[in-house]
């Protein structure tokens, strides 16, 4: 995968100058930082940064994903969007149920494999959202609807409600919905993979 390499002694200045030279913003790329120390007492530090454009990262993901799916005997088309550091890739095939898997487990596994592949290639984890047509979009809308419904119930009864266990991405969506309700507070409790959100009345 193509990358641009820069070296310097001040990390923040190096990032700023390198991005300006490439005409990029930090949320348009992945940056891997390494450092070496030299001198008699190892006090001199020099930084090296490798900058990968998100467009190139997205293309690498699609190529690798296409290889994985071919090995599964599945042909798919891809739709890619890059926005605010997030690479969103939708897959369209005649085997959507296989790609999704039971409760989305195959889709989740594919996303994990892709992130690990890019980490091996780049040395940094991308923010990738992998979807099959609108499967995840529908799940998000259902989660938002349920969260609003539970929030109104807490406001009505003044009693706290514990939501089902969710992953960090789902909890972030629920917290975002709940933040729009005056008089409520929410907190994540429990240990992974059994963390959940508790919705409560905000105390004065």
List pLDDT tens digits, range 158-172: 999 999 998 888 899
Percent helix, strand and coil across the chain, each to the nearest 5: 45, 30, 25
The pLDDT of residue 39 is above 70: no
Strand 196-201 and strand 184-189: the pairing is: antiparallel
CATH superfamily of 138-201: R3H-like domain (3.30.1370.50)
Q: State the average pLDDT over residues 105-125.
A: 91
pLDDT, position 136 = 85
pLDDT-based confidence at residue 5 (cuts at 50, 70, 90)? very high
Task: Please name the residues in contact with 169: beta carbons below 8 A apart, sequence gap of 6 or more.
Answer: none
pTM > 0.75: no
The pLDDT of residue 14 is above 90: yes
Helices (H), the chain: 11-22, 54-71, 96-100, 105-122, 135-157, 168-178
In the numeric block, which tokens belong to residue 33?
A: 């930082």
Distance CA 113, CA 102 (A): 18
The pLDDT of residue 41 is above 70: no
The pLDDT of residue 141 is above 70: yes
pLDDT, position 47 = 93
Is the omega angle on the peptide bond into residue 190 within 30 degrees of 0, that is, cis? no
Task: Please name the residues in contact with 188: beta carbons below 8 A apart, sequence gap of 6 or more.
Answer: 171, 175, 195, 196, 197
For domain 55-133, the CATH class is: alpha beta
The pLDDT of residue 183 is above 90: yes
The pLDDT of residue 76 is above 70: yes
**Hey, how many other C-beta atoms are within 10 angstroms of the C-beta on 45?**
13
């Amino acid at each position: 995968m193509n990358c641009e390499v820069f070296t310097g002694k001040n990390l923040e200045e190096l990032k700023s100058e390198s991005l300006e030279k490439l005409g990029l913003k930090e949320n348009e790329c992945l940056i891997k930082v390494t450092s070496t120390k030299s001198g008699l007492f190892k006090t001199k530090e020099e930084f090296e940064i490798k900058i990968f454009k998100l467009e190139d990262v997205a293309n690498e993901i699609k190529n690798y994903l296409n290889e994985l799916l071919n090995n599964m005997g599945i042909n798919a088309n891809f739709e890619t969007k890059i926005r605010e550091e997030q690479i969103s890739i939708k897959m369209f095939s005649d085997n959507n149920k296989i790609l999704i898997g039971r409760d989305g487990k195959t889709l989740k596994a594919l996303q994990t494999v892709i992130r690990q592949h890019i980490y091996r290639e780049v040395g940094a984890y991308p923010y990738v959202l992998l979807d099959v047509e609108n499967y995840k979009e529908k799940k998000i809308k259902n989660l938002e609807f349920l969260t609003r419904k539970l929030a109104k119930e807490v406001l009505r009864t003044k009693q706290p409600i514990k939501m089902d266990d969710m992953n960090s991405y789902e909890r972030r969506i629920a917290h975002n919905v709940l933040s729009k309700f005056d008089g409520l507070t929410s907190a994540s409790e429990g240990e992974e993979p059994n963390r959940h959100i508790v919705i409560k009345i905000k105390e004065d």
